[in-house]
Structure 1
Amino acid sequence: MTERIAPGDLDADAWGTRATLVQFSTEVCSRCPGTRRLLHRVADTRDGVTVLDVDVTHRPDLARRFTLRASPTVLVLDADGTPRSRFDGPPQPADVERELSLLDA
């Protein structure tokens, strides 16, 4: 999982200066709102970390490109847009924190 992603690929203006948490969700996902809140809580405690929510309901091209099998799927991108980890389904807060800490190491 080393393919660099450009912000425009996901209709974003820019990535976070340290990391970006990308949540792929769908309109009917019952677990997505809770995951979105969790990601924002984690990002709010770290400078330079942003959250991007991408609804793939009307973007099947993204679902194929990222081989989405679960909703939500969360990617942790470094500042350059390179995926460093992936969670298929809702992640645990400690797991997201750990992945962000690995970027700081």
Structure 2
Amino acid sequence: MSPALITAIVAIAAALVVAGVAGVLHNRRSGVVREAEPLDVDVRDLGLSRTGPTVVHFSAGWCGPCAGVRRVVDQVCADLRDVAHVEIDMDANPAAARRLSVLSLPTTFIFDAQGRQRYRTAGVPKAADLRSALEPLLA
């Protein structure tokens, strides 16, 4: 084997390893509910509940994982009766998506009863994570 061919094989292998590590790290963050910095944006038109927390998730008809978010959120909201759920179609309301800096779908927010953003996640959240973020807001 020539030195050029060995160098090429090593470079391809190294690129595959780097891409694999980057993919694993990216997927570890997907769906993780994390506290969000409060935003100074107008959320009056989002249809937030004034009596309890609201889960807002952005979706689109062409987004496959968005159906998974809908199932998880519906399940959690059925268990926690005082939690409202609002789904916003990003194609129908791009202004709201821009205001909240939604860069990928699905993106889910949790707002408290005062309309303050408390949590945010990209990807499909786990029901247990969503529930544990919402329960303190119900107390």
Q: Which runs of 5+ in 1 are unaligned?
A: none
Question: 2:68 maps to what in 1?
Answer: 34
The separation in 1 between residues aligned to 2:98 and 2:84, in whole angstroms, is 24
AA in 1 matched with 2:38: T
Superposition map of 1:50-89 within 5 A: 50-89=84-123
TM-score by length of 2: 0.66
Question: 1:22 maps to what in 2?
Answer: 56
Q: For residue 79 of structure 1, give the secondary structure of its aligned residue in structure 2.
A: coil
The structure number with the bigger radius of gyration is 2
Identical-pair percentage: 32
Q: Which runs of 5+ in 2 are unaligned?
A: 1-36
The separation in 2 between residues aligned to 1:79 and 1:63, in whole angstroms, is 20
Alignment partner of 2:45 out of 3, 9, 20: 9
Number of positions where the alignment pairs a residue of Structure 1 with one of Structure 2: 103
Question: 1:92 maps to what in 2?
Answer: 126
More strand by share: 1
Deviation at 1:76, TM superposition (A): 0.6
TM-score by length of 1: 0.84
Deviation at 1:6, TM superposition (A): 6.0
Question: 1:47 maps to what in 2?
Answer: 81
**Conserved 8 A contact 1:76-1:84:** yes
AA in 2 matched with 1:76: I
Q: For residue 33 of structure 1, give the secondary structure of its aligned residue in structure 2.
A: helix
Cα distance per residue 1:33-86 (max 9 Å; x no partner): 121111011011113111100001132222211111221110011111111100
CA separation of 1:41/1:102 partners in 2, compared to 1, >3 Å: closer, same or farther? Answer: same
**Conserved 8 A contact 2:41-2:99:** no
CA RMSD of aligned residues (A): 2.0
Q: For residue 108 of structure 2, give the secondary structure of its aligned residue in structure 1.
A: strand
**Conserved 8 A contact 1:21-1:77:** yes
The separation in 1 between residues aligned to 2:50 and 2:71, in whole angstroms, is 18
The separation in 2 between residues aligned to 1:54 and 1:88, in whole angstroms, is 14
The separation in 1 between residues aligned to 2:101 and 2:94, in whole angstroms, is 10
